[in-house]
Structure formats: structure tokens, C-alpha cells
Amino acid sequence: MGVMLFGESYDCLPQGRLKSRADTPNWRLFSSAEDTFSHCKLVHQFNISNMIHKHALEFYGYIKLINFVRMKKPTAEYLNSLSSPLPWEEEEYLKPELEDDLLLQFDIEDLYASTNISEPNGLSDNTAILEQLKCTEHRAKLAETALARAQEDLQKMRQFAQDFVMNADVRSNSSSSSAIAELRDDEDGVYFSSYGHYGIHEEMLKVVLDVGCGTGILSMFAAKAGAKKVIAVDQSEIVYQAMDIIRLNNLEDTITLVKGRIEEVDLPVEKVDIIISEWMGYFLLFESMLDSVIYAKDKYLAEGGSVYPDICTISLVAIGDKNKHADRLAFWDDVYGFNMSCMKKAVIPEAVVEVVDPSTLISEASVVKRIDCHTTSIPDLEFSSDFTLTITENTVCTAVAGYFDIFFEKNCHNSVMFSTGPQCTKTHWKQTVFLLENPISVKTGEALRGKITVVKNRKDPRSLIITLSVNNTKQTYSLQ
């Protein structure tokens, strides 16, 4: 397949402008990307290598440049005159303008390797060497950034696998440490051992939909477990990293990636048999993707299909932590001799996401919401619930903490769950703490009654407004 200069049906004229084949009999078809770049440099004074070095373009930047040139057909003079910000920085230029464009398959590392350091822009040898060193340094920094991002993604994969699957025995805290140790020794072995609990193997020769796939870790687990086809959907730019990861693991024949919101994209199938998603947010529902999972379930899940996780609960527990209460509230009564108690009104309404010391728990937990992902609807995600917290010691209640548990139950031979509660293995979801302005004196065996109301913030539907009534004292909190 030949390579046209800057488009399948366009060529560069001596002035550097693009012209269609119909307008000139002298269009040229090049046999390689190198020939194309050489022609640009010799005939039109446009040096693609210098352009990459000048703007420190990495692989995706190069792709955007090529697609920008094909789409906008700029002059060589215009391209040579550009400075930051670059006109091709928008994500739309990641989409190939030409199908099977060989220029997009060119490894720009070859350009870095083949650059003649004695002649860029007519600079002296010393200056040229300095320029080359600067480029090398910049490439090293890009590589460091990419490595850091990859390491962060890997850590997220490990953490999620640990939280999402490994803690099948989380009800027994003594087994959590050994599960984590096994994960570090043999992540795949532990995962697939736990995966057998789901009983999904009987159904795995089916189509799986991963909503909000991120780096594609769940999609790859599903593919390795035997899924016939996996469709992974994510609207963020991380989907491009997922493409690379999936190719590196030779799973591109099984996993199809789709970029966009599940509510807006067209899937290559009408129905799926299983939906998987790591949709949970803080306090389960903050910035969660459950709305999208519900949409996917209603539109794409085949009759009798399964959504995992399928059961989720939100629980509350009382906290007695005088020191932390003093740090956050009493502190404002005397700040270096000044009364700033008015600041309490600004501090209290902000729910705090943090790890709660289990030694500060002073009640049994109370479930205030149960969600079955197979039957729930979007309106169900706003709710009110009465609760009773049975106190376990004589002290004062300074706050109420919320957390969630998730379960895998439908078609599972052995029910699997994990908890984000303060008495279990720490997770990145931590707990959500609602501070009480005035601590409440409580006694062992006392029933501390209250009511919680959770609604979406109308100005920001992904955040929550939570109203808590305890002992006839009402306080509204924001989680945002």
C-alpha cells in the first residue's frame, strides 16, 4: 500500500498547499513513510523530525499532528510557524482521518534515532548537540512520566483486585492478611481461585459488558476466565492506555474497546449475558457510575443475565472520638486567644472521607440501604431511612460513620462479599464521617435513633446531599 504525502487523495504543491488529484496530473504516491518525510523536507521545507523535536511530541502527539494535517490541509509555512498551544491538541485528532493510514503506523523513535545532529536548522555543531541533548532529556522525562503512570495504574489494578475479589473471606479478619500475601506471591492464581466461587465458569462462554473499564483489568480477567467476547466501555482518555494493555496481553481478539458514555455509544451487540463494573464511589453512591450500570442493564442485559456485584448495602455506626472532635471543632473556640467559633458552621456540613480507628466505634452497625442491582432503578438511589444504633459503651457519640458492603450472590455457588467497614481491611473507599456539632452522651445498651436522607445534588448530580437526624437534632452534609 502506498503512502500519499498528506492524504489519500491530496498532494503537496511546491507552495506547500494541498491539492486534490483531480486538480493536478502530478500527484505522487510514496512507498513508505520515510519517502514521504524526505519529500516534505527536500521539496516543501517541512521537516517532520524537527517538528517532533520542536514540540516534544510523543506517540499520540505525532498521531494528532498527522491527522490534523490530513483534515485541515495547512501550508508548510503555517506548520513551521506554530508555537504552543498547538492546534491539534484536541482529542478529535486521535481518530484516524484515513483508514489503515501507514503514516500512523510509523515508529517515531526512528526519527529520534536517525536525526542528524549536525544540521538542524543550520545550527553550529555545539548548538546542535545541545539541542539534541535537550530532546533526549525531554524524552527521558516523558518516559519517566509514562512509567510513573503505568506504575500507578498497576497499583490501582492490584488494589482493586484485592478489594474487589480477593477478600472473599473478609468476614473473617484473620484471613485478610494471608489473602493479601497470596495476592503478592501469585496474583493470577489467587484471583482465579476466588473467581471459581462465583459459579460464573458455567456461563462464561457468553458475552460480557464492562461498564467504565478503566485500564481494562476486569475485562482481561473475564477474557482469561473464558468469556466468548468482552465489550469494554469507558468515556475517559484512559481507554487508549487500555488498548495498549490489551494488545500487550494478546487479548484484542476477545476484548472490544468502545470510547464514550454507555448512554451514548452503539455497542456491536444487541444483548450481553453478564455486566461487570467497578462503579462504587465513596459512601457507595458518591460519584458512582451506578446510574450508567442501571442504564446498561435495562438496555443490554439479556433475560436471565447477571450484574456483578449484584447486592450492595450502606451501613451506619456511631463513633466516640473526643480528640478528633476537639481537633476539628473545639479548636475554633480559641485560636491563639481569638474566638473563631463561627467557623464551626462551615466545618460541620462537610462530610469527611477518612479511615476510622476501629477502637473509636461505640455501637453496632445498622444497614440503612440495600440495593439489588438486578432490580433497582435510578430513582431508588435517593432514599430516606430510619435507623437505630445500639450503643456498646458509656461515652459520648461525636460522629456517625457510613460505609458499604458489596456481595456476589446470583448464580454463585458460594456467596462472596467484601466490606469497606472500619473493622475490615482498609480500602481506598475508606469511610465517610458525619461530625456532630454537639456530642451526645450515651450508655451501654441504649438505642440511639435517627433518620438519614440521601439525595443527589441538583447542581452536581454526581455529588450527594445527606441529612442526618440524631436525637431530634438535624444536620445537612455535603459530599463533594
Tens of pLDDT, residues 130-181? 555 555 565 565 556 656 655 665 565 555 555 544 443 333 333 333 333 3
**What are the backbone angles phi and psi of residue 343, rounded to the nearest 5°?**
-70, -20
Range 82-102 average pLDDT: 79
**Which of 289, 307, 325 is a domain's end point?**
307
Domain count, the chain: 3
Domain with 226 in it: what CATH number?
Answer: 3.40.50.150
Tell whether 43 and 188 lie within a shared domain: no
Helix locations, 162-289, DSSP H: 176-185, 187-195, 217-224, 238-248
| Residue 22 or residue 138, greater confidence | 138
For residue 85, cis peptide bond before it (omega within 30 degrees of 0): yes
**Which of 98, 115, 132 is a domain's end point?**
115
- Confidence check: pLDDT of 338 > 80: yes
- Confidence check: pLDDT of 412 > 80: no
**Which of 250, 277, 307 is a domain's end point?**
307
Distance between CA atoms of 101 and 91, rounded to whole angstroms? 18
| Residue 155 falls inside a structural domain | no
Tell whether 424 and 383 lie within a shared domain: yes
Helix locations, 124-209, DSSP H: 125-161, 176-185, 187-195
**What are the backbone angles phi and psi of residue 20, rounded to the nearest 5°?**
-75, 160
- Confidence check: pLDDT of 27 > 50: no
State how far Cα 373 lies from the chain centre: 21
| Residue 188 falls inside a structural domain | yes
Angle 263-266-268 from CA coordinates, rounded to 5°: 135
Tell whether 197 and 228 lie within a shared domain: yes
Tell whether 22 and 90 lie within a shared domain: yes
Distance between CA atoms of 393 and 128, rounded to whole angstroms? 75
| Residue 143 falls inside a structural domain | no
Distance between CA atoms of 325 and 348, rounded to whole angstroms? 10
Distance between CA atoms of 402 and 412, rounded to whole angstroms? 27
- Catalytic residue from among 8, 97, 187, 287: 287
- List pLDDT tens digits, range 190-221: 333 444 444 444 444 699 999 999 999 999 99
Tell whether 298 and 318 lie within a shared domain: no
pLDDT at 196 (0 to 100): 42
For residue 120, cis peptide bond before it (omega within 30 degrees of 0): no
| Residue 123 falls inside a structural domain | no
| Residue 397 falls inside a structural domain | yes
Q: At what angle do helices 187-195 and 176-185 cross, to 10 degrees?
A: 120
**Cα atoms in the 13 Å half-sphere on the side-chain side of 240:** 9
| Residue 166 or residue 339, greater confidence | 339
Cell of 240: 487508549
Q: Name the nearest CA neighbour of 216 among 195, 246, 192, 191.
A: 246
**What are the backbone angles phi and psi of residue 465, rounded to the nearest 5°?**
-115, 120
Tell whether 371 and 469 lie within a shared domain: yes
Tell whether 318 and 383 lie within a shared domain: yes
- Respond yes or no: is residue 382 known to be catalytic: no
Tell whether 272 and 338 lie within a shared domain: no
Tell whether 205 and 328 lie within a shared domain: no
| Residue 424 falls inside a structural domain | yes
Tell whether 465 and 322 lie within a shared domain: yes
Range 255-265 average pLDDT: 96
Cell of 469: 437526624
Tell whether 318 and 298 lie within a shared domain: no
Cell of 348: 460541620
| Residue 359 falls inside a structural domain | yes
pLDDT at 125 (0 to 100): 54
- Respond yes or no: is residue 278 known to be catalytic: yes
Domain with 336 in it: what CATH number?
Answer: 2.70.160.11
Find the domain containing 398 and state its range.
Answer: 311-479
